[in-house]
Structures are given as structure tokens and as C-alpha cells.
Structure 1
Amino acid sequence: MAGRHRRPQNLPVGVVGDDAQVTQVEATVSEKADGAVVLTRYDSRDDAVTAIEQRESYGAIVLGPSSTPEVLTASAANPTVAQMLDELGQGMQAAIDEQIRAAVESQIAAAQQEAAARVQSLVEAVRSGQVPQIPESGPSAPVQIPAVTVTVTDIVPFAASDPRGAGLGVALFPLVLGGLAVGIVSTLVVRGSAVRRVTTVVVASVGAGLVLAGILQAAFGALQGSFWLNAAACAATIAAIAATVTGFAGLLGPAGVGVGAVFTMLIANPLSAAAVPVEFLLQPWGAIGQWLPPGAAATLLRSLSYFPDAATAQQWIVLLVWAAGGLALTLVDLPARRLRAGQSVAEHPLTV
């Protein structure tokens, strides 16, 4: 099935460091990640943070000669990817600890060899009848044990009202159901001209958007940021889904309601990537899902809530185009045109 998950591919992650460090990280990621991560090099930590805040990267690995290693994550982008990066940080810490242990053991071995050489020289002097030259005692060089700790920093965490992101993860479901309900009611209950159905979709979408945004943001804390922007996104989502249903009905009659509902629930919704990164879906289905109303809505709501610097033009355009296109097809109203042309219901059984 198109929406079935597989191993992630090409998750964008940043890396900061000199040429040697970046080359080493690239080799390690290529060996262990098996295509799950694609690295993008940034000049500084600030550049990597900006990329994360603009949703161009899920996180970053920051290295440098004058700073301790750091792994940047964004749990609000996706907790699963943030956990992957946190595990990467633990792996880096383990590798560093192993290098430190090897270096300390090397220093101890060198000190032991030096002491053994001194003792041997004393023994040989005694055996040859010479007066052994006992070296002046002095403070021995301490074994150097460097302390290097990999820091993991969550750049964009979830809000305290939704610490695990559970509310945001399920926020799309009531919007999809609301859009389907508006579309079905507008088609099967509202009688009269297609203009009345279009008006019903627009008015009901605006009202439902305000109500659902209020519930999701004020009552459950699932949405963050501007209430009015979130309400507009909810209204646009409901309108796009409802217009899909009424648009199919404008072409097919009552059968269009079922086509619109099946398309939304069984095709568009599974491809929305509301709970998983787009990169977790089979390609090109993950990319296609972002051009359907549920996928655009899921990305838009997450960006409005936690990534205000991210570009959202594509998501707004997708929702508005689906809404406008669906309403235009609603106005076409082929069933009514056939009846006005004198064609009987018997000739078109699905026409009302």
C-alpha cells in the first residue's frame, strides 16, 4: 500500500566542522545510517540553528576545535527523528570515551616503559661494578585524562501544554472528519442551486475552523502561536476537504460523495505524514501527499505552531487551490444540468 512505512531515507541533517571532521562524520553516517540521513554542511552553529527553525533540517551535528561536540535536535519537528539524533549523540559519546580510554592506556603504558628502562639501567650499572646514578626525584607527569562531553540540545521542543506532541499528532483527524461532514451535509442535505451548496461550504468551514481551533488550542494546547492564523488554517483545511466532496458530487452526483470520502480517508489521509516525517513514507508518495489537503494541513499547522520562520506558502496555496477547484466543480453541477436539459433520472441513476 502506498502509505505503508519503510526505513527513513534522506532525512536532512546539518553538520558543522572543519574539512577533516566533516569527512569523518560523513563516513560514519554513510556506514551506519544506510541512507537514512543526508548531511548538509553549514558554516556555523547559528546557520545550523536557522536551518532547523526554517524546517530545512531536522537537526545538526556541531563540531569544532574550540567547542565541545553538540547534537542539535528539534523534537517539535518529529520526536522519532529527535530520538534518532539523541542516539547518535550517545554513539558519539561512546566513541569519544573509547578514544580517551585508549589515549590514557597509551600514556600509562609509556610511563611504565620509562620506569622499567630506568630500573634496568640501575641493575646493569650494579652488575658492571659501577656506582648507579640515581635520578633526582621529582614530580612525575600526571596522566592526562581529557573530559569531553557530547551535548544534546533541543532547539525546538514541544510546548509544556503538549510535551509529547500527542495533541498535535491527532489534530488533523477532527479537521478531516469536519471537512467530510461539511461536504456530505452540503451535498445531501442542502437543497436548491449549487450556489447554496458553495455558500454552505464556505460559511460552515469558517465557523468550524474557529470552533476547532479554539478547542485544539485553548482547551487541549495542541496548537501554539497565533490563534487567528491557526483558525484560518483549520478553516482552509475543512474547506479544501469539503470542496473535494462537493466537487466530485458536482461531476458524479451522489456517487461523488463516496468517491470524495474514499479519496480523502484512504488515499490523502494516509499520505499526510501527520505523525511521521515525509521521509518515512514510500517515495514518491510522501512528496505527493504534501500536495493533498491533509498533508498540506499537517505541515502547515506544525509550522504555525512551532516554526514561525518556516516557509508556508506552498501549504496555503495547496489548500486554497483544492478549495477553489472543488467549489468550481460544485458550481458545474452536471446532474442539475442534465435534468434541465430534459434527461431523466432513469438515464443517469445517480443524478438527483
Structure 2
Amino acid sequence: MADAATTTVPGAGDSTARKHHPALTLVGMTCGLGVILVLMLVVFIMPSLKSGPHDLQVGVVGTSSAADQFETSLAAAAPDAYTSQRFSSEQELRDAIRDRDVIGGFVVDESGVRTLVAGAGSTAISGSLAGTAQAVGGALGVEVTVEDVVPLPDSDPTGVGIGGLAFPLVFGGIVPVVAFRKILPHSVGWYLTGLLVFAAAGGIVVSSVLTFAFGSIESAFWPVVGSMALGIAALALPLAGLQKAFGAKGFTLGAMAMMFLGNPLAGISTTSAWLPSGLGTFGQILPPGAAGTLVRSAAYFDGAGGFVAFWTLVAWIVVGLLLYAVGTRGAAGEEMPERPSG
């Protein structure tokens, strides 16, 4: 009986005995991390390699024959780069540029071609438009002049200040979610209030640096404050909601999406129009891209072109609050003691 009691069943304990050899683990981890590295290179570098003018809306002013000739030369000089729209007057074209309905335009007459650009919209796009105009002018044998209708400030002529906002936006959305969860009292009110207060403070800090240190903004301090605050909140609240509803895994996946998709596809330095069309559109759905568009619109265009971006950020904030409410309700249900039977 004693022997029977101590007899071991074949296969028992195999789960603990069958361990992968360290070499296999090393190979597997190396391959997995290599794939992740390749994906990161594709996400961060491919948008830049494939970026450029494609179907950008431009305006053309001139007589029918002159405009027809110019548009033919424009299509030959830059195939598929621009889509032209006729305007009846130069003032109408200038207004369309300031309203961000078009990225620039051309006034064609007997004296030559006057090119109107908006450097504040994107120095990459305005530079490309000016270069294309010179090529068209050379083909037509006419003089070409360039005028910046919405220029960047003299202290930041290349737009570096606005262009560098992608990482601060993502950082400002991720870090307070983790920090405030650890240091604030375990109260929904205090936690969410902390995130909103940080968003407002972050907007003030960023706008102050852009205005007083970099000179990137001249007369839109408070609109930029509001735009940045909205962008930070649209990042932080959904991440907090994912954390509350799905735990650490939810937060990690959300943070990775914002860092490795939202950041490189935001197009803040060049605007989304410069990115490949599908990637640029996708980037504008995520908070970093929408926030970058709204900040640029607020800083240089009196809010023009920021309508969709504004409501995109509002939608993310609402989604974040709903996720947090669902997570809170689920946690309360789990903690509720069971009623005694009978």
C-alpha cells in the first residue's frame, strides 16, 4: 500500500520539467524584437520617404486662355501634385488661402506669374509650390514672383517651434496618467481633475515657451493655450479610461498606439497634406495629429481649418470619460459583496 501511495503517474510534473532551452528563448526573443524594430522603422521613416505634394488644392486667377495654358504647364511640371481651382479675383484667392481652403495659388497675367503661398501652413508645401512655379515660369518663358500671404514670424522663419510639438503632446498625455494615479487620493474626482488641471497647465507652459522663448507665436497666446490643453486632455483621458476599463494592458496598448502611430503620422511639422494620403488621413483621426492641426490653425490662421480637428479632440475626450465610467462601474460591481442566500 505504501508503494502504491508513492507511485508516480507517468507524465506527472512534465509541465515543470519541459522548459525551453535558453538558446531557443534567445532566438525567439531576438526574432520578435527584430520584427518590432522593422515595424518601427517602417512607421517612423516610410511616411517621410513617401511624403511630397499629391493632389494639393491650389487656386488659379487669370483669363481663360492664360489659366488654361498655365494649368497645362503645371500638370506637366508636377504630375498629380496639384489640383487647380479657378478664382475670379486675386482677393478671393488670398481669402481662400487664409481660410485654408487652398494651400496657395497663382495669379497669371501678361506680366508673368505671381505665386501666393502660406509659409505658416507648411514650409515644405510653400517651398515646393514656389519651386514648381519657377519650373512652370521657365517653361512658359515668363517672370515668376513669390509672395508669402501668411508668413511665419521672423524669429522662427522655418516653423521649428510648432513643428516640434508631437513629442511634447504625447508625453503630456501619457505621463500624468501614470503619475497622478500613484500620488493623488483614490478618488475619481481628484484623479480626473488632476488630468484636466495638468492639461490646462501644459497648454499655458507650451504656449508661453512658443511665444516668449522661441518667438514662434506672436498674437495667439490664449488660442494656442486652449488648443494644446484640448490636445493633452484628448490623449490623457482616453488612456486613463483604458487603464480603468482594461487595466495595465489597456493603458499599454493605448500608449503604444499614440507613441508609435500617433506621433509619426501626426504630420505636425509639415501638415498631414504632405504625408501619403492614407497615412495623413489616419494620423488626423488620432489626437496628436488633430492637436497639431488645431494648434497651427489657432496660431496662424485665426482658427480657420481647425473645425474638424477641434471636434475630433472633443470626441476623444468623450470616449475617454465613457471608458473611465465603464471601468469605474465594473470595479464597483466586482467589489459589491454577495447577498447571503435565504
Q: Unpaired runs of 5+ in structure 2?
A: 1-41
Answer whether contact 1:51 1:57 (CA < 8 A) is retained: yes
Which secondary structure state, in structure 1, belongs to the residue aligned with residue 109 of structure 2? Answer: coil
Query: Take 2:53 and 2:180, find their aligned partners in 1: how far apart are those partners?
Result: 40
Aligned to 1:135: none
AA in 2 matched with 1:272:
A
Aligned to 1:89: 133
Query: Take 2:332 and 2:262, find their aligned partners in 1: how far apart are those partners?
Result: 30
Answer whether contact 2:294 2:303 (CA < 8 A) is retained: no
The question of 1:149 aligning with 2:143 is answered yes
Aligned to 1:75: 119
Aligned to 1:112: none
Aligned to 2:193: 199
Deviations 1:162-181 (A, max 9, x none): 11111111023212211111
Which secondary structure state, in structure 2, belongs to the residue aligned with residue 254 of structure 1? Answer: helix
AA in 2 matched with 1:198:
L
Query: Take 1:46 and 1:336, find their aligned partners in 2: how far apart are those partners?
Result: 60
Aligned to 1:36: 81
Answer whether contact 1:53 1:156 (CA < 8 A) is retained: yes
Q: Unpaired runs of 5+ in structure 1?
A: 98-147, 344-352
Which secondary structure state, in structure 2, belongs to the residue aligned with residue 153 of structure 1? Answer: strand
Answer whether contact 1:303 1:310 (CA < 8 A) is retained: yes
Answer whether contact 1:194 1:333 (CA < 8 A) is retained: no
The question of 1:330 aligning with 2:324 is answered yes
Within 5 A, what are the aligned runs for 1:60-71? 60-65=105-110, 67-71=111-115
Deviations 1:235-276 (A, max 9, x none): 111111111210111221122221121011111222211122
Query: Take 1:224 and 1:260, find their aligned partners in 2: how far apart are those partners?
Result: 35
Identity over aligned residues, as a percent?
32
- State the shift of 1:10 in Å: 0.5
Within 5 A, what are the aligned runs for 1:213-252? 213-252=207-246
The question of 1:23 aligning with 2:68 is answered yes
The question of 1:340 aligning with 2:319 is answered no
Query: Take 1:194 and 1:239, find their aligned partners in 2: how far apart are those partners?
Result: 16
Shift in CA distance, 187/260, structure 1 to aligned 2, threshold 3 Å: farther
Aligned to 2:260: 266
Aligned to 2:54: 9
Query: Take 2:72 and 2:143, find their aligned partners in 1: how far apart are those partners?
Result: 22
Within 5 A, what are the aligned runs for 1:48-63? 48-63=93-108
Query: Take 1:331 and 1:161, find their aligned partners in 2: how far apart are those partners?
Result: 45
Answer whether contact 2:199 2:233 (CA < 8 A) is retained: yes
With the length of structure 2 as denominator, give the TM-score of the two structures: 0.79
Rg larger in 1 or in 2?
A: 1
AA in 2 matched with 1:174:
P
Aligned to 2:27: none
Query: Take 1:217 and 1:242, find their aligned partners in 2: how far apart are those partners?
Result: 24
Answer whether contact 1:186 1:197 (CA < 8 A) is retained: yes
Query: Take 1:88 and 1:310, find their aligned partners in 2: how far apart are those partners?
Result: 26
Q: Choose from 298, 305, 313 the match for 2:299.
A: 305
Query: Take 2:202 and 2:314, find their aligned partners in 1: how far apart are those partners?
Result: 16
With the length of structure 1 as denominator, give the TM-score of the two structures: 0.76
AA in 2 matched with 1:261:
A
Runs of 4+ with >4 A deviation: none
Query: Take 2:135 and 2:220, find their aligned partners in 1: how far apart are those partners?
Result: 39
